[in-house]
Amino acid sequence: MPVVVDDGAPPPPSSRSPLRVAVIGAGPAGIYAADALTRQSDIPVAIDLIDRLPTPFGLVRHGIAPDHPKMRAIRDTLHRSLDHPLVRFVGNVEVGTDLSLAELRKHVDAVVYTYGAALDRRLGIEGEDLPGSLPATDVVAWYTGHPDADRATVEAALTGVRSAVVIGVGNVALDVGRILARTTEELEPTDMPQHVIDVLAAAPVQEVTVLGRRGPAQATFTTQELRELGGLAAATVLVDPADLELDADAEARAATDRNATRNLAVLRDWAHHAPEPGRTRLRLRFYSRPVRLLGTDRVTGVEVERTAVDGDGRAIGTGRFEVLPADLVVRSVGYLGTPLPGLPVDRRTGTVPHDGTGRVLRDGRTSAGEYVAGWIKRGPSGVVGTNKHDARETVAGLLADAGDGTLRAGGPVDDLVHTLQARGAEPVLLEDWRAIDAAEQALGATRGRARTTLHEREALMAAIRAATAR
């Protein structure tokens, strides 16, 4: 008969005492992490999927552009993971505000941080904060109906805009440039809040310049997203043929990169385009490094230095400067992860330090029961699906730790939702989200749309109350 040694440690997880895991952030990385936890049966688990918004899906709801309905439809797949009986969606709860990380950790055995990267990177140039200069994060939050969007600032910046410069040549820059160049008819069927469609309809945008500090072969946008610009109803894409002339070395380097090769082919197809009367000019301009935003009480232009790209792909200033007039500047130069109170974040990379596979490091040592996945783990890169592999890697580490006893189930504790309710928080559960979902679909139907996003926290909560009262 085996000798059972009581070492005082909690027992391994069992169906009566499952491993309780809190996943912080109900975007793709969080949902994929929850999904990976439910796809195994070796370690019994119970998962709380916590989000500070009353709605799930993170950047699928408030990142992917509303004129990309097929991409946004991934929420239907993600929803299946939310419906899993071992997963409890707990929205409208901000860790660090509604309860501290230390308090949360008393309720669970492990935490997986998947709360993404919500801040904008700064350019660090003069004039960056002039009225009329916006980070892409603000514009995207606004046009996707994020409850925390700064409507007043964004709408003031968009009023009367004729010519916009979008700084950066990633996919977010293309999203912003494309939305600005779209007609009202193109935006009408989307799930954008009505005020967003109205403000964009009223903005007399005639020219949008998307600005790369390096060459077309270094642009990070992907070919499918680039090609889409060629199909806009009332905008002509313009590219300076001189920007597409690469010397033999640069051409050879570009040929080793599939995305660059394809992008160059698309851009070269457009090199003969000329402006057309009555159509918005959507310029893609390269080798232009912003050095200063001009203006006194509002932005009036961007001063750029022409660059050349060296053999290592770096931008080298040429000492030639010019001014691009603009009454709106959108800075789309990448996202940065925010610190969560009580969690270490490398301020330079905006990511949580980890062991390479997702175990959080504190002071260089693995911190028991803490894991990280998604943008806050690897930085703001990749497509939605990239998070699946990433989350699985992190969850594999968590399960290995549970398997070898590093991570144990702490046994019964107070229910997290009851604790939150007792202190006056209003956690939003899956049924509540369903009420919001139904209200958004009903609102959309009044204008013949599949859905219209409810953009105010109060409206989201009112939809829940209305459903509860029925």
Q: How far is the CB of 380 from ligand NAP (least distance, A)?
A: 5
Nearest distance, CB of residue 31 and ligand NAP, angstroms: 17
The minimum distance between CB 313 and ligand NAP, in angstroms, equals 8
Pick from 173, 203, 293, 345: which binds ligand NAP (CB under 6 A)?
173
**Please, what is the minimum distance in Å from the beta carbon of residue 328 to ligand NAP?**
17
Residue number with CB closer to ligand NAP (290 or 397): 290
CB 166 within 8 A of CB 209: yes
52 makes contact with ligand NAP (CB under 6 A): no
Number of residue whose CB is nearest ligand NAP: 170
Signed CA dihedral, 94, 99, 102, 108: sign only: negative
Selected from 167, 187, 217, 235, the binder of ligand NAP by CB under 6 A is 167
In the complex, the smallest distance separating the C-beta of residue 82 from ligand NAP, rounded to whole angstroms, is 23
Q: Which stretch binds ligand NAP (CB under 6 A): 92-100, 318-326, 378-386, 406-414?
A: 378-386
Report if residue 171 touches ligand NAP, rule: CB under 6 A.
Answer: yes
Binding-residue pattern over the window 193 to 232 for ligand NAP, x denoting contact by CB under 6 A: -------------------xxx---x-x-x--x-------
**Could you tell me the smallest distance in angstroms from the CB atom of residue 211 to ligand NAP?**
7
Our finding on whether 433 is near ligand NAP (CB under 6 A) is no
- How many chain residues are in contact with ligand NAP, going by CB under 6 A? 25
Cα(203)–Cα(164) distance, rounded to whole angstroms? 11
Determine if 333 is a binding residue for ligand NAP (CB under 6 A). Answer: yes
Of 77, 381, 421, 468, the one binding ligand NAP (CB under 6 A) is 381
Nearer to ligand NAP, 246 or 461 (CB): 246
The identity of residue 27, as a single letter, is G
In the complex, the smallest distance separating the C-beta of residue 250 from ligand NAP, rounded to whole angstroms, is: 15
- Our finding on whether 27 is near ligand NAP (CB under 6 A) is no
- Region near ligand NAP per CB under 6 A, out of 303-311, 379-387, 403-411, 443-451: 379-387
Contact track, ligand NAP, 32-51, x by CB under 6 A: --------------------
Alpha carbon separation from 208 to 68, 129, 353, 373, 452 (Å, rounded): 20, 20, 38, 35, 27
Closer to ligand NAP at the Cβ: 389 or 447?
A: 389
The answer to whether 330 contacts ligand NAP (rule: CB under 6 A) is no
25, 170, 350, 353: which one contacts ligand NAP (CB under 6 A)? 170
Q: Annotate the chain with three-state secondary structure.
A: CCCCCCCCCCCCCCCCCCEEEEEECCCHHHHHHHHHHHCCCCCCEEEEEECCCCCCCHHHHHCCCCCCHHHHCHHHHHHHHHCCCCEEEEECCCECCCECHHHHHHHCCEEEECCCCCEECCCCCECCCCCCEEEHHHHHHHHCCCCCCCHHHHHHHHCCCCEEEEECCCHHHHHHHHHHHCCHHHHCCCCCCHHHHHHHHHCCCCEEEEECCCCHHHCCCCHHHHHHHHHCCCEEEEECHHHHCCCHHHHHHHHCCHHHHHHHHHHHHHCCCCCCCCCEEEEEECCEEEEEEEECCCEEEEEEEEEEECCCCCEEEEEEEEEEECCEEEECCCEECCCCCCCCCECCCCECCECCCCEEEECCEEEEEEEECCHHHHCCCCCCCHHHHHHHHHHHHHHHHHHCCCCCCCCCCCCHHHHHHHCCCCCECHHHHHHHHHHHHHHHHCCCCCCCCCCCHHHHHHHHHHHHHC
Of 109 and 120, which has the nearer Cβ to ligand NAP? 120
Q: Can you tell me which of 316, 383, 422, 438 binds ligand NAP, judged by CB under 6 A?
A: 383
With binding defined as CB under 6 A, does residue 178 bind ligand NAP? no
123 belongs to the binding site for ligand NAP (CB under 6 A): yes
Give the sheet arrangement for strand 19-24, strand by strand.
Answer: 87-90, 45-50, 19-24, 110-113, 365-372, 359-362
Span of 47-55, 165-173, 231-239, 363-371 interacting with ligand NAP by CB under 6 A:
165-173
Six token digits for residue 305: 């230095």
Answer yes or no whether residue 144 interacts with ligand NAP by CB under 6 A.
no
Q: According to the binding rule CB under 6 A, does residue 30 interact with ligand NAP?
A: no
349 forms part of the interface with ligand NAP (CB under 6 A) = no
User: Which stretches of the chain bind ligand NAP, using CB under 6 A?
Assistant: 123, 167-173, 175, 212-214, 218, 220, 222, 225, 290, 332-335, 380-383
